[in-house]
Amino acid sequence: MMKRMAAFLALTGIVFLITSFKKHSPESKPVLRTIVIDAGHGGDFHGTRGLISKEEDVTLDIALKLGEAIKTEFPDIKVVYTRTTNANVGGASTLKEDLHNRAQIANQAKGDLFISIHCDATVKPPGGYYEKRVIGHKKKLEYVGRGKRKRKKMVNAPIYESYWVKNTRVGASVLIWKAEKSSDKTNAINDGGGGEFEDSTDNSAQEFDLGSPEAKIRAELYEQRYFKKSVQFGSMVMDEIAKAGRKTLGVYQRDKGIQVLQATGMPSVVIETGYLTNKEEEEYLNSDDGQNEVVRNIIDALKRYKQQLENGKTNASATDSNGNNK
């Protein structure tokens, strides 16, 4: 009798173990339930512009296409947009409110990943610009001195020539929130770098108070939970864009201009899809083919990211998948 009882208890124990193990298997708890897609700028906050387009419009086009592609490729993943029209987010009247609303939408949706779509720009005019250079000198009569001392003098005057400088900078990059301390594994990620947020004249850097206790807690959380995943996904996006034959500039850490990333309690990246100040890249980013390719690259990165999460690999190695071919 006791033997039977013991056998029964052992059996129920095993059954219990199996069912509780099942509870924690990937099937019952998806790793990516909700993805938040953020079309950069919009409404009163225009972002950069090229020869034929504005950043706020290009980012919205790509964001909406990305959302549709996610719904098709991953029917179980919920897509949440921060905006679907060209309007301030949540009826915001200031940039600060607008950015806070984006973070709030992401947090209320309990997103598992925040993807912010942007376009880059250099400080120089879109397309190109004229510069002057000296191509020689010529003798020229000039007056020197004043009043009675005024006299003529031959001088060597430079001859200038105007020439066209094409705005050639191209390439996609990923920006992630700069964690306070970075481990050895993440040291390979670029720190700083040029581009939109470096050159930006908007003061979104001041729109989040990083000194507040809440911000410090958020920063710590981001570092512990979300930093590696952000690097991991960002590196995969760079990989896929490079595979498509486009220039990639790498994954950059930033702590200015992208505070909205830190304010979202989830892995989060800004994808700079390319330069609107380069004529060809702007045309690419405005074309259906170009937009679809960028979306395809992000989807392929998402597939790999999801797979790795399901396999429990969350330690990103930035060195082998940085995609930095600058």
- Contact residues for Zn ion (CB under 5 A)? 40, 47, 118
Shortest Cβ 17–Zn ion spacing (Å): 51
d(CA 218, CA 166): 42
Which C-beta is closer to Zn ion: that of 94 or that of 212? Answer: 94
Shortest Cβ 195–Zn ion spacing (Å): 9
Shortest Cβ 196–Zn ion spacing (Å): 5
The count of C-alpha atoms lying within 13 angstroms of the C-alpha of 76, restricted to the half-sphere facing its C-beta, is 8
Which C-beta is closer to Zn ion: that of 47 or that of 267? Answer: 47
Which C-beta is closer to Zn ion: that of 270 or that of 301? Answer: 270
Which C-beta is closer to Zn ion: that of 109 or that of 119? Answer: 119
d(CA 120, CA 126): 11
Which C-beta is closer to Zn ion: that of 32 or that of 103? Answer: 103
* Local structure of residue 57 (DSSP, 8 states): H
Which C-beta is closer to Zn ion: that of 47 or that of 171? Answer: 47
Shortest Cβ 57–Zn ion spacing (Å): 12
What residues does 79 pair with on adjacent strands? 35
Shortest Cβ 197–Zn ion spacing (Å): 8
* Local structure of residue 225 (DSSP, 8 states): I
Shortest Cβ 12–Zn ion spacing (Å): 59
Going along 27-127, which residue ranges are E strands? 34-39, 78-81, 113-120
d(CA 156, CA 145): 17
Edge-to-edge strand list for the sheet holding 113-120: 78-81, 34-39, 113-120, 268-275, 172-177, 248-254, 190-191
Which C-beta is closer to Zn ion: that of 113 or that of 175? Answer: 175
Shortest Cβ 56–Zn ion spacing (Å): 8
Going along the chain, which residue ranges are E strands? 34-39, 78-81, 113-120, 128-144, 151-166, 172-177, 190-191, 248-254, 268-275
* 109 close to 118: Cβ distance less than 8 angstroms: no
